[in-house]
């Protein structure tokens, strides 16, 4: 089993990514690092610790990472994030408080140490801003040659953005950090809006979780119903809520569920397209280190997603 680190800005689909990772026997979740994004970083840490306890994994360590973008000195949650994920990030669902202490080591140091320890066995899945990962690469450049795989949720290559016509939310938070990561030469797989808007959940699925009559089944049904309601307002034509972050975990575990385009990318850092992920012409001659998911076997993925989560929720 490969070792997995998630980098979350724990909102509702990040919570689903965490659940999918726990429910997947192919990977061993060795830790979670958090950042600002859908919520402030302290809230992301608290949400993650509470979700881990809810899902029967209270021993997984949670590290507090970046509190703001690499070029900023503070951070405020965007109104649109609150609208989609609720003020507490998990759809106004209140989980039991936990007393877990956060480790002494910083999120970036943990990421670097895990890379040194596990090398090619290590998979990292960031589903928020890329601030932590960029900092780790800048502090320890060998990370890009040693790490097994980075499969990130973010960006858009063939479709418009979701916070502006060009830009996806995780890229919008810290385009400079994203640019560091995309041009670092690390083995990257981008799971962007190109595919995540094709894997949707509806109230049919959350109704099934409710019938399990367990704490986790009920809590996740409530969270995702909140998310579905928000999507009905912001994206009325979609017909459900997008499984952005859990799809990144799904494709990290089983890349055969997608079709990939081998193409290095850069990230626009200025002008109206700031945060857009763009095919890098300068690198057409080199062997690309980045692959972009452009098609997804949505039905197969959704079936697996429901099987795994239903099984996990039935036991917790
Ligand atoms: C991404 O933005 C966040 O709000 C979600 O959690 C997801 O990671 C989608 O653009
Ligand atoms: Ca996220």
pLDDT per position as a tens digit, 152-169: 999 999 999 999 999 999
Burial 241-259 (b: 16+ CB within 10 A, else e): bbbbbbbbbbbbbebebbe
Average pLDDT score, the chain: 96
Give the CA diameter of the chain. Answer: 56
CB 243 within 8 A of CB 205: no
Burial 82-91 (b: 16+ CB within 10 A, else e): bebbbebbbb
Distance 148 CA to ligand 1 centre (A): 24
pLDDT at 284: 67
> What is the pairing mode between strands 241-242 and 200-201?
antiparallel
85: annotated active-site residue: no
244: annotated active-site residue: yes
Nearest to 129 by CA among 185, 157, 168: 168
DSSP state of 273: T
- Tokens 């999918």 belong to 20
Nearest to 149 by CA among 245, 246, 14, 252: 252
30-59 average pLDDT score: 98
Q: What's the pTM value of the predicted model, to 2 decimals?
A: 0.98
Q: Residue 198 pLDDT more than 80?
A: yes
pLDDT at 101: 80
pLDDT at 239: 87
CB of residue 38 inside a 6 A radius of ligand 1: yes
Q: How many residues appear in the chain? A: 316
CA 218 to chain centre: 22
Give backbone dihedrals phi and psi of 134, rounded to 5 degrees, phi first.
Answer: -60, -40
Per-residue model confidence as pLDDT tens digits over 55-104 = 999 999 999 999 999 999 999 999 999 999 999 999 999 999 998 788 88
Percent of the chain at pLDDT exceeding 70: 99
Strand-pairing partners, residue 4, are 29, 123
pLDDT at 57: 98
pLDDT at 229: 97
pLDDT at 280: 87
pLDDT at 287: 86
Q: Which of 9, 14, 194, 225 is an active site residue?
A: 9
């Amino acid at each position: 089993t490969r070792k997995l680190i998630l980098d979350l800005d724990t909102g509702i689909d990040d919570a689903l990514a965490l659940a999918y990772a726990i429910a997947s026997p192919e990977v061993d979740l060795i830790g979670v690092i958090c950042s600002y994004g859908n919520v402030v970083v302290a809230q992301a840490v608290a949400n993650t610790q509470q979700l881990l306890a809810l899902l029967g994994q209270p021993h997984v360590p949670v590290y507090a990472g970046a509190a703001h973008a690499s070029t900023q000195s503070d951070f405020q949650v965007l109104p649109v994030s609150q609208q989609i994920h609720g003020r507490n990030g998990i759809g106004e669902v209140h989980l039991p408080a936990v007393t877990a202490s956060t480790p002494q080591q910083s999120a970036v140091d943990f990421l670097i140490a895990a890379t040194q320890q596990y090398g090619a066995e290590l998979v990292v899945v960031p589903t928020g801003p890329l601030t932590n990962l960029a900092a780790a690469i800048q502090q320890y450049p060998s990370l890009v040659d040693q790490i097994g795989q980075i499969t990130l949720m973010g960006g858009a290559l063939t479709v418009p953005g979701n916070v502006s016509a060009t830009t996806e939310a995780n890229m919008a938070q810290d385009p400079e950090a994203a640019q560091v990561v995309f041009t670092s030469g690390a083995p990257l797989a981008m799971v962007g809006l190109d595919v995540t808007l094709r894997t949707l959940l509806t109230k049919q699925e959350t109704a099934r979780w409710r019938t399990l009559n367990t704490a986790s089944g009920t809590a996740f049904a409530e969270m995702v119903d909140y998310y579905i309601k928000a999507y009905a307002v912001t994206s009325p034509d979609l017909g459900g809520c997008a499984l952005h972050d859990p799809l990144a975990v799904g494709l990290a575990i089983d890349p055969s569920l997608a079709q990939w385009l081998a193409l290095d990318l850069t990230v626009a850092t200025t002008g109206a397209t700031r945060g857009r992920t763009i095919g890098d012409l300068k690198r057409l001659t080199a062997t690309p280190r980045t692959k972009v998911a452009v098609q997804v076997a949505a039905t197969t993925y959704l079936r697996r997603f429901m099987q795994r989560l239903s099984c996990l929720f039935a036991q917790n």
